[in-house]
């Protein structure tokens, strides 16, 4: 199948916005996430958005705080993550790093990382992940490094150019998608005509789809040398050092 004939309409993606603004309509991160999601939707990918602060999510490295009597909607979000081939985490930059909500999301995901899929690999094997970052201060690459490392560590496949973002000038100023600032109407919503951001957002969306397509078509990551029950056998069988036999 040639590249321009590749189909993506059996893929699912979930975009999780970790803004700390209670009102989703005020989230600048959501605006950039929407642009990436739109690229995927136009290729037939089924996309679902999750705005974390619309849900009651408890803190802790646990699967379900309801077991301890707390009101916790994380298990429903976790199910959306498990149903998806692609995960995109969006976060604003605060004090140069990802939001506290993004940390919360990764901690809750981490609580499941010791579970296994049907091939005895860790649970998130066979899925692909990326991130979207916005802010008014330096930190896109720092936040992306943090989020993408965490996703890769728990089993996600991270494709090339799996992050995109936008930052304005240092200090107070218009944020991504603002249509006016300091009483003046802007000709174009802030950041929408930024080629660097638009390019990286496009690359990220397509590379996530390409990687998810390859993983799905090949049944995920081969289950050799990376299963809980089989890694010792593979190591011992292939080692030339008698110390490890």
- Tens of pLDDT, residue by residue over 148-176, are 999 999 999 999 999 999 998 877 888 99
Architecture in CATH for domain 9-244? 3-Layer(aba) Sandwich (3.40)
Q: What is the mean pLDDT of the chain?
A: 91
pLDDT of residue 67: 82
Across-strand partners of 35?
A: none
Residue 47 and residue 111: Cα distance in Å, rounded? Answer: 24
Q: What is the pLDDT of residue 58?
A: 94
Is a pLDDT exceeding 70 seen at residue 39? yes
Long-range contacts of 180-186 (CB under 8 A, 24+ apart): none
Q: What is the pLDDT of residue 233?
A: 74
Question: In this predicted structure, which of 60-74, 106-120, 190-204, 227-241 has the lowest mean pLDDT?
Answer: 227-241
- Per-residue pLDDT at 70: 83
Q: State CA 172 to chain mean position distance.
A: 27
According to the 3-state scheme, what is the secondary structure of 129-186? EEEEEEECCCCHHHHHHHHHHHHHHCCCECCCCCEEEEECCCCCCCCCCCCEECCEEC
Long-range CB pairs of 32-38 (<8 Å, 24+ gap) are 32/90, 32/132, 32/134, 32/164, 32/165, 32/166, 32/176, 32/177, 32/191, 32/197, 32/201, 33/88, 33/90, 33/132, 35/198, 35/201, 36/88, 36/132, 36/164, 36/201, 36/204, 36/205, 37/13, 37/88
The values of phi and psi at residue 188, to 5°, are: -135, 140
| Whether residue 51 has pLDDT greater than 90 | yes
Percentage of residues of the chain with pLDDT beyond 70: 93
Nearest to 123 by CA among 132, 133, 112: 112
Lowest-pLDDT choice from 4-8, 116-120, 135-139, 228-232: 228-232
d(CA 197, CA 161): 12
Q: What is the pLDDT of residue 237?
A: 57
Domain boundaries, the chain: 9-244
* Predicted local distance difference test score (pLDDT) of residue 243: 44
Mean pLDDT of 15-40: 96
Summarize the confidence of residues 55-68 as an average pLDDT: 90
| 143: exposed, middle or buried (Cβ count in 10 Å: 0-12, 13-18, 19+) | buried
Average pLDDT of the segment spanning 92-105: 95
- Identify the residue with better confidence: 176 or 241: 176
């Amino acid at each position: 199948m040639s590249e321009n004939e590749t189909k993506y309409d059996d893929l699912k993606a979930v975009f999780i916005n970790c803004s700390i603004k209670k009102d989703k309509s005020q989230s600048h991160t959501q605006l950039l996430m929407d642009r990436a999601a739109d690229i995927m939707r136009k290729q037939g990918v089924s996309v679902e958005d999750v705005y974390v602060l619309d849900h009651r999510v408890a803190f802790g490295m646990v699967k379900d705080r309801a077991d301890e009597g707390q009101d916790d909607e994380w298990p429903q979000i976790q199910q959306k993550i498990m149903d998806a081939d692609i995960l995109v985490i969006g976060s604003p930059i605060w004090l140069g790093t990802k939001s506290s909500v993004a940390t919360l999301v990764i901690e809750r995901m981490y609580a499941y990382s010791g579970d296994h899929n049907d091939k005895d690999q860790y649970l998130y094997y066979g899925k692909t992940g990326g991130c979207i970052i916005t802010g008014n201060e330096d930190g896109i690459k720092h936040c992306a490094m943090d989020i993408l490392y965490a996703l890769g560590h728990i089993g996600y496949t991270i494709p090339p150019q799996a992050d995109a973002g936008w930052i304005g000038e240092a200090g107070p100023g218009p944020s991504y998608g603002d249509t006016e600032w300091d009483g003046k109407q802007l000709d174009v919503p802030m950041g929408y005509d930024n080629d660097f951001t638009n390019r990286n957002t496009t690359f990220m969306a397509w590379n996530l789809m390409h990687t998810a397509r390859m993983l799905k078509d090949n049944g995920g990551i081969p289950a050799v040398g990376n299963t809980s029950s089989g890694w010792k056998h593979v190591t011992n069988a292939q080692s030339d050092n008698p110390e490890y036999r």
